[in-house]
Amino acid sequence: MVNIERLKVAVIHDWLVNYGGAERVLEQILGIFPQAELFCLVDFLCEQDRSFIFHKQSHPSLIQVLPFARRYFRYYLPLMPLAIEQLDLREFDVVISSSHAVAKGVITSPEQLHIAYVHSPMRYIWDLQEDYLDRSLRSSLGRLLFHYLRSWDVYSSFRVDHFIANSHFIRRRISKIYRRNAKVIYPPVNGANFPLKQAPAEDFYLTVSRLVPYKRVDLIVEAFAQMPQRRLVIIGDGPERSHILKKLTPNITYLGYQTQAQVREYMQRSRGFVFAAIEDFGISPLEALSCGTPVIALGKGGLQETITSDTGILFPAQTVASLQTAIDQFEQRQFDPQVCHDYVQRFYPDRFRQQLKQTIEQYYLKHSLNKLPDITEEDEDL
């Protein structure tokens, strides 16, 4: 088997500004390849937040030095394809991109192996463009820009040798958009940070989410506003905060941003975790399961692959009535916290690292064999 620890590896991540689901995958990739050099579009992490990248110094793109990039780097979306293509990766044997935007579009040579772990094809320009982009861009010029970005996104997919998807849901999206196959390796869920609850659940439901339109926290709020006998606690912040606050009723408590320790405490105390988004994978519901808290979630996207009848209830439609029916069904069920907790072990980081390392070794071995010159009859005589 190939000794991948000796390979020169470049890891490409879209941007380094916080620690979310994509960054947890990046953390594990860098754990497998401690010798890797890290590249990105922008890096605005402060020193105290760099532990998940092992305090590496990254190589950012030209967007890093553009005006107001620290706060408004997403507005440089039209420049991102150009910026990612300018990264110089010529000296590396293996390029691994961790991509939810443009990272998979880096340019490599035929001698290099490029493996793309795709969290999702770029949501900005495909299925959620109306939710993500500012209204000022929803003009004819804006839609022309989206068309250009979609064309680049598809064209740049040809540069990838192998795709890895974070769920079968994303595997289908990769097939639909790029017409490429992908291996599924589920992202890591660190159950050690979310231990099993030691006390009976309290009488409230919990949702933890960024407050952006596609997360549909507004739907959850509307459902509970019509069920005054049920309590709801909301943790999270984002551009939809003022919209959510206007819908609150006395049985709904909004806590805003909370630390991981505070989130863990509420997950352990809550009766059930509610989630209404069409998610690529969905880590926070699994963190709740690790605490022993069952889940009520929309039965679409990645969560239909991870929530079972023993660990929660899936509701079929993104409507208030569908969610309310699921809550009523939930109230009539009994879930075993230990079963919920044990189920999450299949997503633990050590399993993710093992699967990813073995996959990369196999791809590199195949790539190395394909690089060998053809043996001619004259060569055989020698």
Give residue-wise pLDDT tens across range 28-84: 999 999 999 999 999 999 999 999 999 999 999 999 999 999 999 999 999 999 999
Segment 93-101 shows an average pLDDT of 97
Crossing angle between the packed helical segments 260-269 and 283-290, to the nearest 10 degrees: 60
Residue with the larger pLDDT of the pair 326 and 137: 326
List, in order, residues 6 or more apart from 75 with CB less than 8 Å away: none
Residue 321 falls inside a structural domain: yes
* Residue 4: predicted pLDDT: 72
pLDDT on residue 1: 59
What element of type H or E holds 360? Answer: helix 349-371
Distance CA 292, CA 200 (A): 10
Residues 131, 120 within the same domain: yes
CA dihedral 221→247→255→135, nearest 10 degrees, is 90
Query: Residue 381 domain-assigned?
Result: no
| Local confidence band at 5 (pLDDT 50, 70, 90 cut-offs) | confident
Check pLDDT > 70 for residue 381: no
Beta carbons within 8 Å of 112's beta carbon, 6+ residues apart: 89, 92, 93, 94, 95
Which residues are paired to 243 by β-bridges? none
The secondary element (H helix, E strand) that includes residue 263 is helix 260-269
Query: Within a domain: residue 382?
Result: no
- How much is the pLDDT for 143? 80
Alpha carbon of 223 to those of 227, 244, 320, 328, 375: distances in Å? 7, 13, 5, 12, 68
Whether residues 330 and 197 share a domain: the answer is yes
Is position 377 within any domain?
A: no
Instruction: Provide the pLDDT for residue 235.
Output: 98
CB under 8 Å to 301, separation ≥6 — which residues?
167, 169, 277, 278, 279, 280, 282
User: CA-to-CA distance for 80 and 125, rounded, in angstroms?
Assistant: 13
- Strand 252-256 to 9-16 pairing: unpaired
> Looking at the structure, do residues 339 and 283 belong to the same domain, yes or no?
yes
Q: Are residues 86 and 174 in the same domain?
A: yes
What is the rounded average pLDDT of the residues 210-215? 91
Would the pLDDT of 273 be above 90? yes
Predicted confidence at residue 372, as pLDDT, reads 57
CATH number, residue 361: 3.40.50.2000
Q: Comparing 93 with 129, which gets the higher pLDDT?
A: 93
Residue 138: pLDDT over 70:
no
Query: Does one domain contain both 130 and 260?
Result: no
Distance, CA of 35 to CA of 9 (rounded, Å):
7
- Residue 139, pLDDT score: 63
Average pLDDT over residues 161-166: 98
Residues 352 and 337 in one domain: no
- For residue 66, give its domain range: 4-188+348-371
Q: Is residue 111 part of a domain?
A: yes
% of the chain exceeding 90 in pLDDT: 86
CB 92 within 8 A of CB 112: yes
Question: Are residues 78 and 162 both part of a single domain?
Answer: yes
Residue 279, in any domain of the structure: yes
Q: Which of 2-16, 111-125, 137-151 has the highest mean pLDDT?
A: 111-125
Give 4: exposed, middle or buried? Use CB within 10 Å, 0-12, 13-18, 19+: middle
pLDDT in the model for residue 181: 97
The closest of 259, 268, 273, 283 to 195, measured between CA atoms, is 268
Tell me the residue ranges of DSSP E strands in the chain. Answer: 9-16, 37-43, 59-60, 94-99, 113-118, 162-165, 182-184, 205-208, 232-235, 252-256, 272-275, 295-298, 312-315
Residues 137, 200 within the same domain: no
Give ∠ CA 128-126-308 in degrees, rounded to 5.
65
Output phi, psi for 109, to 5 deg.
Answer: -90, 165
Q: How many CA atoms within 13 Å lie on the side-chain side of 258?
A: 19
Q: Give pLDDT, residue 128.
A: 65
Count structural domains, the chain: 2
Backbone angles phi, psi at 216, to 5 degrees: 55, 40
Q: Is residue 180 part of a domain?
A: yes
136 pLDDT tier (thresholds 50, 70, 90) = very low
**What gap in Å lies between CA 167 and CA 304, rounded to an integer?**
10
Strand partners, 115: 96, 162
Question: Distance between CA 36 and CA 180 in Å, rounded?
Answer: 27
Domain co-membership, 154 together with 297: no
Residue range 348-371: mean pLDDT, rounded:
93
- The amino acid occupying position 38 is L
Same-domain status, 326 and 210: yes
Strand order in the sheet with 113-118: 59-60, 37-43, 9-16, 94-99, 113-118, 162-165, 182-184
Q: Looking at the structure, do residues 161 and 44 belong to the same domain, yes or no?
A: yes
Question: Two tokens at 306?
Answer: 């991870």
Residues 181 and 41 in one domain: yes
In a domain, 352, yes or no: yes
